[in-house]
Amino acid sequence: MDLNYLLKALIRRKWIILFAMVIGFAAGLVFTIFQKKTFVSNAQYSTGITQTQKVSLQLNEIFDVNQIDIRFNNVIETFQSETVLGMLSYELLLHDLESTHPFRVLTAKQKNDTTYRNVNFQKAKDILHSKLTDLTLLNTYDPQEKKVWDLVNLYEYDPFNLSKKLTVERLKSSDFLNIVFVSENPELSAYVVNTIGIKFKEFYNSLTSTRTKESLTKIESLQRSKSKEVDSIQKKLEEFRKDAGATKSGDVASAAISSLQEASSQLTAEQSKLNTLNYKLSSVNDQLAALNVNVPSQPATAANNDEYIALRNANQSLNSQLALKGGNDPDIQAKIDANTKKMASILASRPSTPSTNPNLQKAVDRKDELIKSKIDLEAEIAAATENIKLYKTQVAEFRGLAFSGGGKEVVLNGIQTDYENAQKELEKYNATLFASQDLDVNPDFNFKQIVVGLPAIKPQSSHRTLVVSSAAVAMFFIACMIILILEFMDNSLRTPSIFQKETKLKLLSSINRINPDKKPLKDYFDLNPENSRNRSSEVFVESLRKLRFELENSGKKIFLVTSLKSQEGKSTVLEALAYIFSMTKKKVLLIDTNFSHNSLTQKFGAKATLENFNLGAQDNAIDKIWGITTLTDINNTDVIGCSEGNYTPSEILPKNNLLVNLTKIAQHYDFIFMEGAALADHSDSKELSKYAEGIITVLSAKNGLGERDRESIHFLKTSTGNKYIGTVLNKVDEELLEL
């Protein structure tokens, strides 16, 4: 099947394709006319994801693009989560129930629904307000909440319907999110894009765990303990300085050696402690790295931030003043303690809403614990590092003093060193406390709305031209595809080339399809110039002339005309042959030997005399033949009819029948044509083949080949000798004759 054939197949069905395009055009037009008007509103939000963090627990933070993409995806998924959309749907329903200008008004049919009539609206409002406060979804297993959920669906505010009209996307290579919503009400669209940001922030805040009161208490306890230790060493140092007692000369070496041993022991213990702390810190960092991929950073809690920051800055200034005065000033220490208590109360007063996602909350809590551990470990490591430096210095000093004297100075230097070391550790704990408290105040996620969604002035364009043209083009391609698929599935012998490819039989002529019911067959062969013939008639006649030429050049006179199947057009072809031979003054005898369907006998009204003909030894064949023939309205054409019945020629014909004497009869006719029954259905044609000089098959281009047809073709090729002349391909579409 070549492209030329497929193209012609489409051209032949151009009116079907055109009709399909008209249908598509009309459908697109109707769709755009009756399409509901929709209004679009959009808002933009700045996420702050790409901004540098104010406080980072990692000393060497890397700006990772992949991590940023993951966090953006997490934010988008959170926007489209069941909880955020659920909170949005509850806000929308409350608005319509409480506002004098609701976004959607139910129809009378919807209000008669049992869902609407069974709702206690005051109870429903209370439930919705409670769910919005707690950031929890309706429980459909609870009868009261199930009624509210059904009401949400009746208004089509459920998350599924909202998500179909909502678009959340990141503006390319930027820090902004674009929120778009489409609805039938411009105010509804604007309300959704503005409110969903608020609901997102509320839900996002609930996912992040703030510093707990216990965590702050623990750090403050360590800070107070270290502060007492500093005070104790300072007091000891002051008392020692007041001591004016003399020392014995032998005490110098003894004191130095004793201090050297103590310093060496402390150095070894501190180094061991530092190794342990470094290992623990490495383990905590590994766990944090694994959690950071899935757990979002803590968002800002806006309440009382300004007051908290002011108190924190005041404490930093007071600690600096306290350090300058040797760490011993009751007034300054009292102010620091008062500010610290206020900061703790501010943190305790912040609302904390449990996460609606247990798994995510568990991961966030775990991250919080690891951060606390990291802060403690870093402070202890810094203190241990300073201690090691101090002990190394002391070891070196005491090693020299052990042989040079100065025991009182050694003791004094040791106390002074202990005091300085404790002071540095206290500063580390103060810094750790401030960093822990500051995690809530300086988040790494600064979410803000930068473009407010406004109600659209005009409805969204229906794109009528695009829709209509697309529908027409789509129907064009669909119609073409269906036609081509049908052509590929069609196994009929519709063209001469397909016939020869499938059968490998000789093609005598291809005859185009005609309708004898509309135009009598004899009109096709009327040579009167006044009787104009159309293109189809001319092609039909020329095809038969070609067939006549092939038969005349075959050198044979007695032909059997058969077919593979019934209803292939044998009788019509035989009648047409009689007309085409009459045009050349040839005398033709038609013998109806198709006992299963004697159509020739019926068409010409011939006498059924074939079965009764019996030529005796003394009879003159030609004289007796005139008695059984019937004259036709075709010039020089006679016909011998037969009776219709369920039998074969060998079963019904007498011993010395007409067919046995065909050679004698052929002396008085130019051509004799016998019509046989279909090869696939009957054995008649096989029995008749021995009486014929040539065999012609008629095949319809509208039929395909079955297994029995291939068996018949094999018979023609192998069992008829040189009698088989060729095939006439009948009922071919005129435009396919040349393919």
**Are residues 477 and 611 located together in one domain of the fold?**
no
Distances (CA, A) of 72 to 41, 68, 199, 293: 22, 6, 17, 12
Residue 231: what residue type? D
Residue 39's H or E segment, with its range, is strand 39-46
**Are residues 631 and 501 located together in one domain of the fold?**
yes
Final residue before a domain boundary, out of 207, 239, 255 = 207
Closest CA to 182 of 168, 167, 195, 198: 167
**Residue found under tokens 């007492």:** 228
20 is in which domain, residue-wise?
Answer: 1-35+464-490
Alpha-carbon span 174 to 170, nearest angstrom: 7
Pairing of strands 637-640, 694-700: unpaired
Alpha-carbon span 495 to 734, nearest angstrom: 10
In a domain, 651, yes or no: yes
CA angle 674, 675, 677 (to 5 degrees): 135
- pLDDT of res. 301: 47
**Are residues 425 and 393 located together in one domain of the fold?**
yes
- pLDDT of res. 217: 62
Closest CA to 55 of 373, 443, 429, 378: 443
Residue 492's H or E segment, with its range, is none
- pLDDT of res. 403: 53
**Are residues 513 and 481 located together in one domain of the fold?**
no
- pLDDT of res. 263: 73
- pLDDT of res. 210: 44
**Are residues 121 and 260 located together in one domain of the fold?**
no
- pLDDT of res. 56: 43
The answer to whether the CB of 179 falls within 8 A of the CB of 105 is no
Alpha-carbon span 57 to 60, nearest angstrom: 9
Alpha-carbon span 135 to 417, nearest angstrom: 56
Q: Which two tokens stand for residue 646?
A: 């369920």
Beta strands, E only, 111-214? 166-170, 176-183
- pLDDT of res. 192: 92
| CA end-to-end span of the chain | 10
Closest CA to 686 of 649, 656, 651: 649
Final residue before a domain boundary, out of 207, 234, 254 = 207
In a domain, 435, yes or no: yes
The domain total for the chain is 4
Count of H-run helices and E-run strands, the chain? 26, 12
In a domain, 54, yes or no: yes
- pLDDT of res. 61: 47
Q: Which two tokens stand for residue 62?
A: 């890397």
- pLDDT of res. 60: 45
pLDDT in tens, 413-447: 777 777 777 777 777 777 766 655 544 444 445 78
Q: Within a 10 A sphere around the Cβ of 285, how many other Cβ atoms?
A: 15
Residue 567: what residue type? Q
In a domain, 324, yes or no: no
| Gyration radius of the chain over CA positions | 54
**Are residues 418 and 535 located together in one domain of the fold?**
no
- pLDDT of res. 276: 82
Alpha-carbon span 46 to 50, nearest angstrom: 10
In a domain, 319, yes or no: no
**Are residues 540 and 603 located together in one domain of the fold?**
yes
- pLDDT of res. 724: 94
**Residue found under tokens 């403690």:** 376
Closest CA to 562 of 546, 548, 552, 573: 573
pLDDT in tens, 140-180: 898 999 999 999 999 999 999 999 999 999 888 788 889 99
Alpha-carbon span 709 to 202, nearest angstrom: 79
Kindly report the CATH number assigned to the domain that includes residue 608.
Answer: 3.40.50.300
**Are residues 542 and 600 located together in one domain of the fold?**
yes
**Are residues 362 and 504 located together in one domain of the fold?**
no
Weakly modelled stretches of the chain, pLDDT under 70: 1-2, 51-64, 207-220, 243-257, 260, 291-306, 308, 316, 319-328, 347-365, 368, 398-412, 432-445, 527-533, 616-619, 621, 739
**Are residues 477 and 401 located together in one domain of the fold?**
no
385 CB-contact burial (10 Å; exposed 0-12 / middle 13-18 / buried 19+):
middle
**Are residues 413 and 469 located together in one domain of the fold?**
no
515 CB-contact burial (10 Å; exposed 0-12 / middle 13-18 / buried 19+):
exposed
Alpha-carbon span 124 to 120, nearest angstrom: 6
**Are residues 590 and 499 located together in one domain of the fold?**
yes
Q: Which two tokens stand for residue 246?
A: 């003399």
Final residue before a domain boundary, out of 153, 179, 207 = 207
- pLDDT of res. 582: 93
In a domain, 316, yes or no: no
Alpha-carbon span 723 to 693, nearest angstrom: 6
Q: Which two tokens stand for residue 28?
A: 């697109």
The answer to whether the CB of 136 falls within 8 A of the CB of 116 is no
In a domain, 70, yes or no: yes
In a domain, 457, yes or no: no
Alpha-carbon span 95 to 98, nearest angstrom: 5
365 CB-contact burial (10 Å; exposed 0-12 / middle 13-18 / buried 19+):
middle
